[in-house]
Structure 1
Amino acid sequence: METILEVNNLKKYFPVGGRTLHAVDDITFSINKGETLGVVGESGCGKSTMGRTLLHLHESTSGTIRFKGEDITKVNKKKLSELRKEMQFIFQDPFSSLNPRFTVYQTLAEPLEIAGGYSKIEIEEKVYAMMDTVGLARRLVNTYPHELDGGRRQRIGIGRAMILEPDFIVCDEPVSALDVSIQAQIINLLLDMQEEKQLTYVFITHDLMVVKYISTKIMVMYLGEVVEFAETEELFESTLHPYTKALLSAVPLPDVDAKQNRIVLEGEVTSPIDPPQSCRFCARCKYAQDKCRKEIPPLTEVKPGHMVKCHFVKEINKM
């Protein structure tokens, strides 16, 4: 399969009062064309920062991001502007990400106008075609964001991202601000568009059931690091990292009478500001030993395609 995105040793640090916040720390992965990589973890783990860094909305501290073989961390502004037609972002909050002074038509037409090369007739045709694609009634073409509900606003956001026909899209919690019934509609819309156009997604969320439904592979993040990476079915059937086990134990079961062994994490969260040379999860891990407090565990392939960042993963899971 064609690899569309290859990320190696990606880091994004922020200066904070003379110290350094390790928002994204040494992340490596690749995605093939037509796949969806689900990225999960608690708030503040670096998911959104990573997503923005992938599209160069944040400049990376170090590492490489190869899109279709080209390292976008080293391209000039002109080349980056050209690449933006192929790489797009769907934001979490459909209200704050839309210009309140723009109608639906103006919002969808803006990317085409910025890209250039389209006549007014072509822009109009593309805008109405995209409204049909994302399920927006044409009668809404002159409405403003405040006149629409959250689901329709997010359809506008999706249409804006899709109208230049990109190959790669970062979806940053695109359904978290929506009602459950609307969430399903938006997820199915994204899946339909992916199937039709062979799109590649990075889908960022904290909802494990959503990511199970939409993703090909899943990457679990904790305080800026990847702690587990596997194909979706493998990760849910054979969860290996203690943190991922805790996340899954918190997911409500559809059977209300079924017993669920909830894993409650105790201890203090390690600060991502100048973090110690140790496992970042060890302060909350019941399996932690001295080695965990003194050495950073490597991200190791413990099964084919299944990576885990834990010194004692084999002992914990008795593999």
Structure 2
Amino acid sequence: MMAQILEVKNLKKYFQTPGGELHAVDNVSFRMEAGTTLGVVGESGCGKSTLGRTVLHLHESTDGKIFFQGEDITRVDKKKLKALREDMQIIFQDPYSSLNPRMSVSEIIREPLKRKGGRTKAELDTDVERLMDLVGLAQRFANSYPHELDGGRRQRIGIARALSLNPKFIVCDEPVSALDVSIQAQILNLMKDLQDQMGLSYIFITHDLSVVKHMSDEISVMYLGQMVEKASAAELFYHPIHPYTKALLSAIPIPKVNIERKRILLKGEITSPVNPKPGCRFAARCAYASEECKAPQTLEEVEPGHFVSCCCSKKFI
């Protein structure tokens, strides 16, 4: 049995706006086993990136609990947070804006190691060379600057930087969405290889459902700050239950001539995430909505390992 690396309980992150509280992440709970990948999907603005950043303390949570390797890290001081940074890292979406344009490739990768301390210059040089080799960056780029490289190589720099302190857990915030399709495949395969070699655990945030199926052991679907469905990747694609998940999957194109997938087109107004009313936030766009949907919804296990937040879910099993 694999050890549990991350557990999130009833996590909330609200932002104050002139109109009230924006519920970016609202009452989200999940568990992750070490060495696995949890994919998080949903429309833009559903709270995927905010969830990942809140787990890493790039945003401080409004409420709820975060446990890392069994330890409560919901509220930590600066000293503890610095120690956590060695075990918990992030790969950002934009491989250009996340890199310092005034630093060379070797300086960017070297920076986390310098801040940790305890290494001589020769040891730092050796570590930088090792990390560049690990992510497939040729040594001739060591003195290059980010603007001189293409998107794929820039993202490899970001991956090398994230790996520099030998973390156990990485939030991958849409790491290939800004890259060409051919480069996406290279980066995804690199990440899977690194996971196998180093036993890494990933939260893989994306809006590309084909990518998330390839990368993930389990997949969570988010809608307006809430987790509406969670299951293994194979189960979710074979047997989606929540109406929103079904609509998402219906949008995946079939790579065959003369075959079209039957699209589920959503109608109705999107519920505002600012001071939302209790109940299902998808109800305004759901063809199956009823009075029962106005009650608060909770994520429940409807089949072994398959969790759904929908009072109508029994109709679809």
Please tell me the TM-score bracket, short chain as reference: over 0.9
Equivalent residue for 1:141?
Answer: 142
Contact 2:109 2:160 in 1 (8 A): yes
Q: How does 1:85-100 map to 2 (within 5 A)?
A: 85-100=86-101
Distance 1:140 1:298 in 2: 50
The residue aligned with 1:155 is: 156
Q: Does 1:224 align with 2:203?
A: no
Contact between 1:9 and 1:26, CA under 8 Å: does it hold in 2? yes
Query: Which residue of structure 2 lines up, in the alignment, with residue 116 of structure 1?
Result: 117
Task: Show structure 2 runs of 5+ residues with no match.
Answer: none
Uncovered stretches (5+) of structure 1, i.e. residues with no partner? none
In 2, Cα distance between equivalents of 1:183 and 1:228: 26
Q: Is 1:302 equivalent to 2:291 in the alignment?
A: no
Cα offsets for 1:248-282 (capped at 9, x unmatched): 00001111222311000000100000001121000
**% of aligned pairs identical?**
62
- Equivalents in 2 of 1:206, 1:235: separation in Å? 15
Contact 1:56 1:72 in 2 (8 A): no
Structure 1 equivalent of residue 234 of structure 2: 233
In structure 2, C-alpha distance between the alignment counterparts of 1:259 and 1:62, rounded to whole Å: 44
Q: Which amino acid aligns with 1:99?
A: N
Match of 1:174, SS?
Answer: coil
1:312 aligns with 2:312: yes
Q: TM-score, normalised by structure 1?
A: 0.98
Deviations 1:137-189 (A, max 9, x none): 10000000000000000000000001111000000000000000000000000
Give yes or no for contact 2:39–2:216 (8 Å, CA) kept in 1: yes
Give the match's secondary structure for 1:28.
Answer: strand
Q: Distance in 1 between the 2:112 and 2:215 partners?
A: 27
Aligned equivalents of 2:8 and 2:260: distance in 1?
40
Task: Measure the CA separation in 2 of the matches of 1:132 and 1:259.
Answer: 43
- Name the SS of the counterpart of 2:86 in structure 1: coil
The AA in structure 2 aligned to 1:305 is: G
Letter in 1 for 2:102: R
- CA-to-partner distance for each residue in 1:1-57, whole Å, 9 max, x for gaps? 100001101000001015100000001101111000000000000000000001001
Structure 1 runs, 4 residues or longer, greater than 2 Å off: none
C-alpha contact 1:33 1:199 (8 A) present in aligned 2: yes
Mapped partners of 2:296, 2:276: distance in 1: 11
Partner of 2:37: 36
Show the 5 A alignment for 1:132-281: 132-281=133-282
Q: Quick one: distance in 1 between partners of 2:9 and 2:109?
A: 34
Give CA-to-partner distance per residue, 1:196-254, whole Å, 9 cap, x none: 01000000000000000000000000000000000111111110000000000000111
In structure 1, what residue type is equivalent to 2:100? N
SS in 1 for 2:79: helix
Structure 1 residue aligned with 2:50: 49
Residue number in structure 2 paired with 1:66: 67
Whole-angstrom distance in 2 between the partners of 1:48 and 1:118: 34
CA distance in 1, matches of 2:50, 2:182: 28
CA distance in 2, matches of 1:299, 1:83: 29
What CA RMSD, in Å, does the superposition of the two structures yield over aligned residues?
Answer: 0.7
The 8 Å contact of residues 36 and 203 in structure 1, kept in 2 or not, is answered as: yes
Return the alpha-carbon distance in structure 1 between the equivalents of residues 12 and 24 of structure 2. 8
How far is 1:91 from its partner? 0.1
- Secondary structure of the 1:57 match is coil
Counterparts of 1:257 and 1:111 in 2: how far apart (Å)? 52
Distance 2:119 2:58 in 1: 26
